[in-house]
C-alpha cells in the first residue's frame, strides 16, 4: 500500500500519485470512510466527485469500490468543484468525498471529505479514525452497494443565484481566470443569465495546468488576469484555484484585493441586510475586518485557521458568514461551506 502516513493531513488527504497515493490505498480509504460516515444511517450512501486531474478517474473509482464493499450506495457526481460537492452533501444530507489536490501541481491528488450536511471532516472530526481503519483494513460486509449518477451543476447555479437579487445586479465587464481548473465548468453555469459581460481565461479543464499553476494567491499566477483586466477595461477580475473553492479579486486598476478585504466587503454587504449578525474571521485576517464588521452593526468572532474550525464556530454561534485571508468564504446558507 502507498504511504498512508504521508497523505493524511490536518484537514484532508493529499499526496503524489502513485508513490504516496494509489488506487489500493484509495479503495481502503473509501471502505473506512463509508464505515465511519454512514454508521447508523438508513439507506446509507456516499457522494463521490472528482476534479479534472487525470489520476482522478482511477482513484475515485477505487474509492467508490471501497464504499460499495461496505454495502453503501455510491452517488457519482462526476466532474465537480469542491463547493458543488458541499452543496450536494448539504442538499442530499449525505456524506461526500471529492478527489482534488486544489492548487497543488499535476502530480498530486487528494481527497476532501465531509459528513452528511456538509459537516467538516478534519483530524479532530474523523480523519484520525478513518486513517486507523484504512491502515488496519475494513472487511467487506454483505451485498455490495449500488452506484448511480447525479448531475448537480444546474441546481448549484440556481442555488448561488438565490443569494442575490438578480434583478438588482448592474451590468459589469468581468474577466475570470479559471487556470484550467474546475472553475471552467462552474463559472459559465453560475454566470449564465446574469447581466455580466464575461470573459474566461483558460477555461479548458486540464489537470496538467499548461498555462500557469492554479494557485491564485501567488502574484505570478495573477499576471495574465491583471493584464487582461487592463486590456479590456474590465470592472473586476476573478482568479480561481484548481477546485474552485477559493477566489481572489482584482479591481478595475488590476490591483489585488486581499482575502481580508474581500471578507470585509462581503461582510458589510450581508450586514446591510442582516444587521446584528455574527461574522467569523480567522486570526490572520487584517485588523480592519473586525472593525468593518462592528461598524456594520455585526458581531465579529475570531477563529483558528482552517475550514473545520471556522465551520464548527459558525454552527456554534449561528454566524451568517465566515472569511479567511486565504480566499475561502463560508456561507450559512450554503451549509456553512464555500
Catalytic positions, written as ranges: 102
Host H or E run for residue 280: strand 278-282
Instruction: Kindly give the residue spans of alpha helices, DSSP state H, lying in the chain.
Output: 4-7, 23-38, 56-68, 82-92, 128-136, 153-161, 183-191, 223-232, 259-273, 288-295, 307-317
On whether the CB atoms of residues 303 and 309 are closer than 8 A, the answer is: yes
Cis check: omega of the bond before 288, within 30 degrees of 0: no
- Do 106 and 207 form a contact (C-beta atoms < 8 A)? yes
Q: How far apart are CA 129 and CA 135, in angstroms?
A: 10
Instruction: State how beta strands 196-201 and 236-240 pair.
Output: unpaired
- Judge residue 97's burial from the number of C-beta atoms within 10 Å of its C-beta, 0-12 exposed, 13-18 middle, 19 or more buried: buried
CB atoms closer than 10 angstroms to residue 253: 8
Query: Coil, strand or helix: which one is 278?
Result: strand
Residue 38 sits at φ, ψ, to 5 deg, of: -115, 5
- For CA atoms 56, 61, 67, 73, the dihedral sign is positive
Amino acid at each position: 500500500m502507498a504511504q498512508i502516513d504521508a497523505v493524511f493531513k490536518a484537514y484532508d488527504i493529499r499526496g503524489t500519485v502513485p508513490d504516496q497515493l494509489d488506487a489500493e490505498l484509495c479503495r481502503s480509504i473509501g471502505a473506512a470512510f463509508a464505515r465511519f460516515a454512514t454508521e447508523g444511517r438508513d439507506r446509507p450512501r456516499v457522494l463521490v466527485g472528482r476534479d479534472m486531474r487525470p489520476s482522478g478517474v482511477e482513484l475515485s473509482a477505487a474509492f467508490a469500490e471501497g464504499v460499495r464493499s461496505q454495502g453503501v450506495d455510491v452517488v457519482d457526481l462526476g466532474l465537480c468543484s469542491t463547493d458543488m460537492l458541499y452543496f450536494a452533501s448539504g442538499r442530499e444530507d449525505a456524506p461526500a468525498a471529492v478527489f482534488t489536490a486544489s492548487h497543488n501541481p499535476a502530480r498530486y491528488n487528494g481527497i476532501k471529505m465531509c459528513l452528511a450536511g456538509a459537516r467538516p471532516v478534519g483530524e479532530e472530526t474523523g480523519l484520525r479514525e478513518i486513517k486507523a481503519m484504512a491502515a488496519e483494513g475494513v472487511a467487506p460486509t454483505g451485498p455490495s452497494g449500488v452506484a448511480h449518477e447525479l448531475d448537480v451543476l444546474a441546481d448549484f447555479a440556481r442555488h448561488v443565484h438565490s443569494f442575490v437579487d438578480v434583478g438588482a445586479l448592474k451590468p459589469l465587464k468581468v474577466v475570470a481566470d479559471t487556470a484550467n481548473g474546475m472553475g471552467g465548468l462552474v463559472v459559465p453555469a453560475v454566470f449564465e443569465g446574469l447581466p455580466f459581460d464575461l470573459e474566461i481565461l483558460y477555461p479548458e479543464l486540464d489537470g496538467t495546468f499548461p498555462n500557469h499553476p492554479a494557485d491564485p494567491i501567488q502574484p505570478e499566477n495573477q499576471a495574465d488576469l491583471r493584464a487582461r483586466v487592463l486590456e479590456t477595461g474590465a470592472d473586476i477580475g476573478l482568479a480561481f484555484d484548481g477546485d474552485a473553492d477559493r477566489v481572489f479579486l482584482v479591481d478595475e486598476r488590476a490591483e489585488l484585493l486581499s482575502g481580508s478585504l474581500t471578507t470585509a466587503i462581503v461582510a458589510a454587504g450581508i450586514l446591510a441586510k442582516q444587521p446584528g449578525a455574527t461574522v467569523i474571521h480567522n486570526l490572520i485576517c487584517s485588523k480592519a475586518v473586525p472593525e468593518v464588521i462592528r461598524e456594520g452593526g455585526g458581531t465579529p468572532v475570531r477563529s483558528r485557521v482552517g475550514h473545520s474550525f471556522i465551520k464548527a464556530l459558525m454552527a456554534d454561534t449561528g454566524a451568517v458568514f465566515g472569511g479567511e485571508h486565504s480566499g475561502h468564504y463560508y456561507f450559512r446558507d450554503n451549509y456553512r461551506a464555500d
